[in-house]
Amino acid sequence: MAVTLRDVAVLAGVSVRTVSNVVNGFRHVSPPMRERVQAAIDQLGYQPNVVARSLRRGHTGVIAFLLPELSVPYFGELAHEVIEAARTRGLTVLVDETAGQADREREILDLAANSGLVDGVILSALGMLGREIALLRPRVPMVLIGERLAPQVFDHAGTDNVRAAKDAVKHLVDGGSRRIATIGAEPGTGRETSRLRLQGYRAALKAAGHQVRPGMVQNVDNFHRQDGAVAMRRLLALDEPPDALFCFNDSLALGALRVLFDAGVRSPDDMRIIGFDDVEEGRFSMPTLSTVTPDKPAIAREAVALLADRIGGSTAPPRDVVVPHYVVERESTAPTARTVARKSAV
Amino acid sequence: MAVTLRDVAVLAGVSVRTVSNVVNGFRHVSPPMRERVQAAIDQLGYQPNVVARSLRRGHTGVIAFLLPELSVPYFGELAHEVIEAARTRGLTVLVDETAGQADREREILDLAANSGLVDGVILSALGMLGREIALLRPRVPMVLIGERLAPQVFDHAGTDNVRAAKDAVKHLVDGGSRRIATIGAEPGTGRETSRLRLQGYRAALKAAGHQVRPGMVQNVDNFHRQDGAVAMRRLLALDEPPDALFCFNDSLALGALRVLFDAGVRSPDDMRIIGFDDVEEGRFSMPTLSTVTPDKPAIAREAVALLADRIGGSTAPPRDVVVPHYVVERESTAPTARTVARKSAV
DNA sequence: CTGTTAGCGCCTTCAC
DNA sequence: GTGAAGGCGCTAACAG
């Protein structure tokens, strides 16, 4: 059995109360006493039992981060940031995967939020609909990250998807592209991210006086490289393929890039491409990938801050923290001889 | 306050013992009784307090997976597999990052292993040396993954690094490459992975009657894409650059590939490249990346199995599970006109 | 088959 | 400044 507070007390010849006081850094303990107790602690190698402490205190110091899949670059990077942000507040992170499926989200959320194991939950939901989430009553605080699904009920941290998408497409428009396609629509799934980015795409085209042409909006089942590859094949099969492309995330864009290369279509020369997320991978792809970068560290920091605030007892109305985004121009949308010529002609 | 076992017992008009029995699916509870209790549970929305249960039972049902960094593709993918493997055994995973630094590994390991919060630990250590790890006496079972650092003390699951590296280089040799460089040595760090893969590289060259030429072994500080890029620049600056390259992981290879492209050197035509890990990214790079694939799901599965076994009380001597690896040939080492010609000339 | 009860290890209110 | 004791919610002996 592990050594307990009592063991230390016996060895030091004091009461458990006193040991507890020095362990928890209480003031009002005489220096000699503190020293004696500390010696006993060191000698026995005592370490507080977090579970017992949690039972007594009513909180555990661990928060759950529920996300679709760690092997997806964006989520791996985001989890890294969340863990980092939590660490600065002395919080430990329990990561669990939902595969983006509603039933697993429900199951895992229920377990995490109601078992007393964690003090709060950060949820990146993909499967559950906003109206379902809004009805949730987790016993511990919950903040939403990414999809802004129930802003009137839960805190949320994320970027302005519509504006960010619009900025991405505007970047293509400004560069002289005319036939701008997009990959990432998910009709019928009710997924916010996809819906909002599509909205931004349409808004940008409209603002530029362009039309949304048939075939230019490619649906996908998922946001993986493979889905981008499949969609790009369909795009290339069009009578009039696009001269530019906005993908709803970088993985889709990277998959599309690969197909483009196989087809002998060059980027940016023949097709300018911009993604979304700014994953590390896009800084080394060929060509390097232009993208919209949501400030991931900021999203993580804000989400953890929001959660810590609730755990601390805040009953303020739900807050929605919008984190800034930036368009990052890399090779995949760099000006080419052709686009430069076209622009100067205007 | 949350509803407790006692509340349910009162409502159902039975003792807590009976409620506990139905909650834990005990037999020997009369159907009508079970039904009555269940009704009370549903009515109150009762959920067991995991913390209290853990304190009583002495275990929590969560295991820790300590790794260097989730944003590194290999670890993101491995974490995904570990979570998956743990789930099939009803275990939850607490992921924490160490940045591969010895002091943080110590600190986090100490916290995880001795606080009672987790039932066991899977550690992918990079900073701590084997001799230090061998001296560790965590209070909960620990299994090592990746680096085989203290096989006489702790269970371990991983691939045979020497043979895998040897196979990778043999693949280059067999393809007709003559000047084979390698990126990933970490002299002076004491890191096993690097040391073993270098050993495999040397062994393969020796077996083929090749020499290890000066400049052909490129050191790195880390295994990120950027490190591969930097090393590749040095390689290209050599009087006689290599015609093939073995990188100790895929990220290094992907970074190297990018620099190669910028320099106008084509792969596989001018330089054949093989990596290690088989991350998803390498299936979409240009060219797609040949690699040695350790069976990640198997590594995760074995590590979790080993740990579960120890948690279950096994006192068997430390086991070392060697998971198979395979060389995967993709575009970056595909036969080229040149190598084919050279081989047929032999 | 079901009720009673003693802790699991810790923190904290109450006395001193 | 320090000691004694109750109880956080649950499980599992021990009765009956």
Q: How many residues does chain B have?
A: 346
**pLDDT, average across residues A39-50:** 91
Q: Which two tokens stand for residue B74?
A: 């290999």
- Calculate how close chain A gets to B133, using CA atoms only, in Å: 18
CATH 1.10.260.40 applies to domain B5-48: yes
Closest residue, CA to C1' of C13 = A17
Tokens 């005592």 label which residue?
A46
**CB atoms B83 and A73 under 8 Å:** no
Beta strands in chain A (DSSP E): 62-67, 92-97, 120-123, 142-145, 155-158, 180-185, 217-219, 244-247, 272-276, 290-294, 320-322, 325-328
**Which helix (H) or strand (E) is B95 found in, with range?**
strand B92-97
Interface test with A, best of B69, B72, B117 (most A CBs within 10 A): B117
Bridge partners, A292 (sequence order): A276, A327
Nucleic strand C near CB of residue A23 (< 7 Å): yes
Q: Which of A84, A257, A284 sits opposite B225 (nearest CB)?
A: A284
Q: Does residue B346 surpass a pLDDT of 50?
A: no
Nearest to B284 among A47, A116, A255 (CB): A255
**Residue that has been written with the tokens 């072994």 in this structure:** B217
Query: Token pair of A163, please?
Result: 């504006």
Is residue B192 within 8 A of residue B147, CB to CB? The reply is: yes
Which of A95, A226, A259 to mutate: most B Cβ within 10 Å?
A95
* pLDDT tens-digit series, residues A107-152: 999 988 888 999 999 999 999 999 999 999 999 999 999 988 899 9
Q: Which nucleotide shows the minimum CA-to-C1' distance to residue B6?
A: D9
Higher local confidence (pLDDT), B30 or B344: B30
Is the distance between the Cβ of A115 and the closest atom of strand C smaller than 7 Å? no
Report CB contact under 8 Å: A93, B92: no
Distances (CA, A) of A327 to A114, A149, A160, A195, A321: 40, 24, 13, 20, 20
pTM of the full structure: 0.94
Average pLDDT of the segment spanning B317-331: 97
Instruction: Kindly state the average pLDDT of the residues B104-127.
Output: 94
Of the pLDDT bands very low, low, confident and very high (cuts 50, 70, 90), residue A346 is very low
Check residues A171 and B343 and name the one with the higher pLDDT: A171
A174, A246, A292 from A171: Cα distances, Å: 5, 10, 10
Q: C9 C1' – B108 CA distance, angstroms?
A: 22
A126 Cβ contact list (under 8 Å, min separation 6): A68, A98, A100, A101, A105, A147, A191
For chain A, the first-to-last Cα distance in angstroms comes to: 81
Whole-number Å distance between alpha carbons of A320 and A322: 6
Residue A340: predicted pLDDT: 57
Identical fold between A5-48 and A60-159+296-315 = no
Fold classified for A60-159+296-315: Rossmann fold (3.40.50)
Q: Which of A16, A11, A121 is nearest to A62 (CA)?
A: A121
Instruction: List the structure tokens of B173.
Output: 């040799």
Nearest CA to the C1' of C6 belongs to which residue? B56
CA-closest candidate to residue A245, choices B258, A293, A236: A236
Query: CB of residue B30 closer than 7 A to nucleic acid strand D?
Result: no
**In this structure, what token pair is assigned to residue A249?**
């995330």
Which of B115, B258, B277 is the best residue to mutate to test the A interface, defined by the most A CB atoms within 10 Å of its own CB? Answer: B115
Nearest nucleotide by C1' from A27 CA?
D1
pLDDT of residue A190: 82
SS3 A142: strand
Cβ of B285 within 8 Å of Cβ of A258? The answer is yes
What contacts A245, CB < 8 A, 6 or more positions away?
A: A172, A180, A181, A182, A183, A232, A235, A253, A256, A271, A272, A273, A274
Q: CA B129, CA B149: separation in Å to the nearest integer?
A: 7
Which pLDDT band holds residue A343 (cuts at 50, 70, 90)? low
pLDDT of amino acid B340: 56
The CA angle A335-B331-A263, to the nearest 5 degrees, is 45
d(CA A43, CA A11): 9
How close does chain A come to B80, measured CA to CA in Å? Answer: 6
Distance B222 CA to D2 C1' (A): 53
**Three-class SS of A59-105:** CCCEEEEEECCCCCHHHHHHHHHHHHHHHCCCCEEEEEECCCCHHHH
pLDDT value of position A25: 82
pLDDT at position B343 is 53
A314-341: average pLDDT = 89
The token duo for A281 is 């991978």
Q: Is A229 in Cβ contact with B50 (below 8 Å)?
A: no
Domain residue ranges of chain A, discontinuous segments joined by +? 5-48, 60-159+296-315, 161-293+327-343
What SS3 state is found at A185? strand
Give the nucleotide at minimum CA-to-C1' distance from A56: D8
Neighbours of A164 (CB within 10 A): 22
Which of A71, A94, A111 is nearest residue B76 as measured by Cβ atoms?
A71
Whether B117 sits inside 8 A of A50 (CB atoms) is: yes
Q: Are residues A74 and A254 in contact, defined by beta-carbon separation less than 8 angstroms? A: no
Q: How far is CA A302 from CA A93, A122, B226, in A?
A: 15, 11, 29
**Are A77 and B224 a contacting pair, CB within 8 Å?**
no
Q: Inter-chain contact B117–A51, Cβ cutoff 8 Å?
A: yes
A33 sits within 7 Å of strand D by its CB: yes
Nucleic strand C within 7 A of Cβ A49: yes
pLDDT, one tens digit per residue, over B132-179 is 999 999 999 999 999 889 999 999 999 999 999 999 999 999 999 999
State yes or no: pLDDT of B206 exceeds 50. yes
Q: Scan for tokens 């990146």, then name that residue.
A: A124
- Strand D atom within 7 Å of B17 CB: yes
Cβ atoms of residues B327 and B297 within 8 Å: no
Residues sharing a CB contact under 8 Å with residue A217, sequence separation 6 or more, in sequence order: A181, A182, A185, A198, A201
Residue B333's alpha-carbon distances to B168, B210, B231, B269, in angstroms, are 11, 19, 19, 9
Instruction: Dig out the tokens for A193 from the structure.
Output: 């991210």
The reply to whether B215 has its C-beta less than 7 Å from any atom of strand D is no
Nucleotides of C under 7 A from a protein CB: 1-5, 7-13
Report the C-alpha dihedral over residues A226, B82, A106, A83, rounded to 10 degrees.
-90
Which residue in chain A is spatially nearest to B58 when comparing CA positions?
Answer: A51
Which residues, including other chains, have CB under 8 Å from residue A303's CB and lie 6 or more apart?
Answer: A82, A85, A122, A143, A145, A157
Does at least one atom of strand D sit less than 7 Å from the CB of A17?
yes
Alpha-carbon gap: A110 to the closest alpha carbon of chain B (Å)? 10
> Which among A60, A69, A286 has the least Cβ separation from residue B80?
A69
- Confidence (pLDDT) at B188: 84
Give residue-wise pLDDT tens across range B5-48: 999 999 999 989 999 989 888 877 888 888 889 999 999 989 99
The CATH code of domain B161-293+327-343 reads 3.40.50.2300
Comparison of pLDDT for A28 and A143, the residue scoring more: A143
Residue A299 token pair:
């999203």
Instruction: Give residue A336's pLDDT.
Output: 76
Residue B2: which nucleotide is closest by CA–C1'? D9
Query: What's the rounded mean pLDDT across residues A26-34?
Result: 82
**Cα–Cα distance between A337 and A302 in angstroms, integer?**
42
Per-residue confidence band for B117, with pLDDT thresholds at 50, 70 and 90:
very high
Interface test with B, best of A60, A91, A92 (most B CBs within 10 A): A92
